[in-house]
Structure 1
Amino acid sequence: MTDTPSTGASSAPGPAADPVVITGTGLVTAGGIGVEATWRAVRAGRGTAAADPELADSPVPISCRPPSADAPVRQGWRLDRSTRYVLTAAREALLEARIEAFGPHPPDWDPARVAVVIGSAAGGISVLEAAHRRLLDRGPQALSPLTLTGHLPNLSAAGHLSLALGSTGPALHTSTACASGASAVVHAAQLLATGACDLAVAGGTDAMATALCSAAFARMGALSRRTAEPATASRPFDQDRDGFVLAEGAGVLVLERASHAAARGAPALAELAGHATTSDAHHPAAPDPAGRGLRTAIALALRAADTGPDEVGHVNAHGTGTPLNDRVEAAAIRDLFARTPPSVTSAKGVLGHTMGAAGAIEAVLTVRTLLTGTVPPTANHHRPGPDTAGIDLVTGHPRDDAPRLALSHSLGFGGHNTVLVLRR
């Protein structure tokens, strides 16, 4: 393992007497509405990217866009897509946790003891883009009075969900780019550990398949240019990878202390055994080429879980399909787990890159791997390159496996690294 710096990193303090468990999960992705639909899609290992009419004038006119998600609230059509996604995913997650929170009656909980922590990279960006076009075309009087409440990141994510649930505990927004959803899970676990809440609804959402975001990412050179074959464009860890496919979606997890879940008779799907966050302090967009921040986050998260690398059976990788990310992440996995290589997969070959939602979506998929004993394949991986070889990447078909301990990696622009340790 690498040396662990004493600054620039945070992690859980160690295994808790009353561990944090996941009691519910919900997803909205290009694979479908709901966990089962998405799980079937990632198990099938076929990319969902397609030509996107909304991006017809973009330099890269493809995306991974979910089916239409009707928010389970009145006048949901007025909300940004990202808000509709997270409300839909939250409803599924709470139902699995045996809580009816969107019905005609208030849920059976103390609303002051419920926290909402949702991450996003861009907030209600489609609302903002539409409002800006209206301002330029028709002047300020054409703006909706709901422009800011639809766009502001705190409202488009945690705020509107807290309103829908009637929860009066902490309602927080995290924004660590592509690690935002995983960061939200970490913050929720910390709130539970300090006793600030009894139940937390945590996750991530983003809807950045917009003209502005697509063009900006294209100018950065971050997007795959395989527009003639969009379903095979996203190629995590492949020799021929050339960037990610922009995607939308949301992932939500319900977190509780184990004793609270047991008292309710709620299912403990998995334990959040440890977590850690670090910063690269290297570059606004590129990862540290030595992967020091990621390696430290892995070490800290394993320490927090009171375990070591030999116990890790599976890694759900960030795996964007960009040349730099995949090289750095593969090297970290190859080096840190050399004695007992874990199975590795990336869902982005199927679902594209959902930005601030990715960490939460992939945490849910990691829980599914632990529950089912199945590792989904990394789609569109055909040629391992010298810079990503040496890891046990699952490709082609799902693999029957029975990991008891798994990691979910999330990396974001700005050098954010978040690692979650999940235990069956």
Structure 2
Amino acid sequence: MSGKKDGRKAPKAGLEATTPSGLRRVVITGTGTINALGHDVATTMEAFREGRCGISQLQFRDVERLSIQIGGQIHDWRAEDYFNRQQILLYDKFTQFTLLAAKQAVAQAGLNFQGALGLRSGVVLGTAGGGLNTWDENYRAVYEEGKNRVHPFVVPKLMNNAAASHVSMEYGLRGPAFTVATACASSNHAMGLAFQMIRSGAAQVMLTGGSEAMLCFGGVKAWEGLRVMSKDACRPFSANRNGMVQGEGAGVFVFEDYEHARARGAEILAEVVGFAMSSDAQDIVMPSAQGAERAITAAMRDARLNPDQFGYINAHGTGTAANDKTECAAVAHAFGHHADRVMMSSTKSMHGHLIGGTGAVELLACIMALRDGVIAPTIGYEEPDPECALDVVPNEAREAQVDAVLSNAFAFGGLNAVIALRRI
């Protein structure tokens, strides 16, 4: 964490280990990331504070054949700096990103999973595309280059659960381990399920978050077909927005039973207090304000907090007209007369849309708001939109103390997932 570096500290005395319903409390004790803004949490949060844009010209094979040539790409990624040759043969880029973020999170949490803790710990991660770079490379080899053989590890490299499996093996996590694939809500669904597992007592520690590495020729070409992509910038909530911009990277967190964290003197970064999910059951690509509102309202109810207790929302905020207007309507209805007092920003304007990994990277902005009192901005905002008449924290970060926050994720397929955090 950047900002308040005072080493590990025990949480405030007198806090109960369970909720009024008898469920376990869940806290975050470790964070890790790599994305277009930085290779770690401190650099990413610094970029949030500065309103820095990580979206740039894409660089990969045949990019000149694409009509969309910008994205939140990690340009300086060198897998050989982190993994040996044998590992690189086994790890698609989305797995590489995950393992780096997980290493940072576990190191910050100061956990060792040997012995009994490993049996009570697990991993649940989100991804939409999984090993898309591996798919892309091998389709080329077979169909373009005419090769009749592929590497024997292509399947275990490209499967969506590869990252979760390698994380479980790396740290000896022998509890629940699986992957969630719900398009742009994948990370939020994964983190929500991890939260529920610890809260119910099914696990003591969970590594959770998500990753995505879709920035290859096939990955961008597929998204081009939807005609929702911008050719120049991501401008959420701005009247002149013209589409979303893809990104890549990972975010991984250590979710831990509060009593366990307190007993070992861990530094607690935030408390996870609520989670809800809903389905629009309406359209495969068009979002529903009613479905999103139900998820937002249910997450606040699950957290046992009222709308006036939330100071910040990390919006899904893709920069498409359909998403932005729908989300603003959902927030306005869910918060009622408190809607004009809550701050809401989209960090996708800086790091791009990480699809299945996006909610994980965006949760960092929520932790920064709670811990450092800094609200990440929505950059690229140029013209007010009457249908998005909320406080979207335009262009510059803002200092403000908030006690509770929400993180929204609304996916194709009408799948909605909202997480609530609280300062501790």
Normalised TM-score (structure 1): 0.90
**Are residue 122 (structure 1) and residue 133 (structure 2) matched?**
no
- Tell me what 2:64 maps to: 56
The more displaced of 356-365 and 71-80 is 71-80
After TM superposition, the structure 1 = structure 2 runs for residues 152-171 of structure 1, keeping only pairs within 5 Å, are 152-155=159-162, 157-171=163-177
Displacement of 1:167 after TM fit?
1.6
Contact 1:46 1:380 in 2 (8 A): no
**Are residue 417 (structure 1) and residue 416 (structure 2) matched?**
yes
Contact 2:250 2:361 in 1 (8 A): yes
Contact 2:28 2:270 in 1 (8 A): yes
**Are residue 399 (structure 1) and residue 398 (structure 2) matched?**
yes
Contact 1:73 1:164 in 2 (8 A): no
Displacement of 1:17 after TM fit?
4.6
**Are residue 68 (structure 1) and residue 77 (structure 2) matched?**
yes
After TM superposition, the structure 1 = structure 2 runs for residues 105-120 of structure 1, keeping only pairs within 5 Å, are 107=114, 110-120=117-127
SS at the partner of 1:121? coil
- Tell me what 1:83 maps to: 95
- Tell me what 1:149 maps to: 156
- Tell me what 1:376 maps to: 376
Summarize the Cα distance change of 1:15–1:175 in structure 2 as closer, same or farther, 3 Å threshold: farther
Letter in 2 for 1:187: L
After TM superposition, the structure 1 = structure 2 runs for residues 95-114 of structure 1, keeping only pairs within 5 Å, are 95-99=107-111, 107=114, 110-114=117-121
Letter in 1 for 2:111: I
Q: Quote the Cα distance in structure 2 between the aligned partners of 1:109 and 1:138.
A: 50
Q: Quote the Cα distance in structure 2 between the aligned partners of 1:403 and 1:206.
A: 30
After TM superposition, the structure 1 = structure 2 runs for residues 291-370 of structure 1, keeping only pairs within 5 Å, are 291-340=289-338, 341-370=341-370
Aligned length: 397
The more displaced of 29-38 and 129-138 is 129-138
Which of residues 211, 216, 222 in structure 1 aligns to 2:222? 216
SS at the partner of 1:110? helix
Contact 2:237 2:385 in 1 (8 A): yes
SS at the partner of 1:26? strand
Letter in 1 for 2:180: T
Contact 1:282 1:415 in 2 (8 A): yes
Q: Quote the Cα distance in structure 2 between the aligned partners of 1:171 and 1:17.
A: 22
SS at the partner of 1:255? strand
Ranges in structure 1 where 5+ consecutive residues have no aligned partner: 1-12, 101-105, 227-232
Displacement of 1:219 after TM fit?
1.4
Q: Quote the Cα distance in structure 1 between the aligned partners of 2:170 and 2:300.
A: 36
- Tell me what 2:9 maps to: none
- Deviation readout 1:287-308 (Å, 9 max, x if unpaired): 02xx111111111111111111
Give % identity: 35
SS at the partner of 2:276? strand
Letter in 2 for 1:35: V
Letter in 1 for 2:363: A
Q: Quote the Cα distance in structure 2 between the aligned partners of 1:152 and 1:161.
A: 14
Displacement of 1:107 after TM fit?
4.8
Contact 2:365 2:375 in 1 (8 A): no
Letter in 2 for 1:403: V
Displacement of 1:69 after TM fit?
5.6
Q: Quote the Cα distance in structure 2 between the aligned partners of 1:120 and 1:244.
A: 18
- Tell me what 1:134 maps to: 141
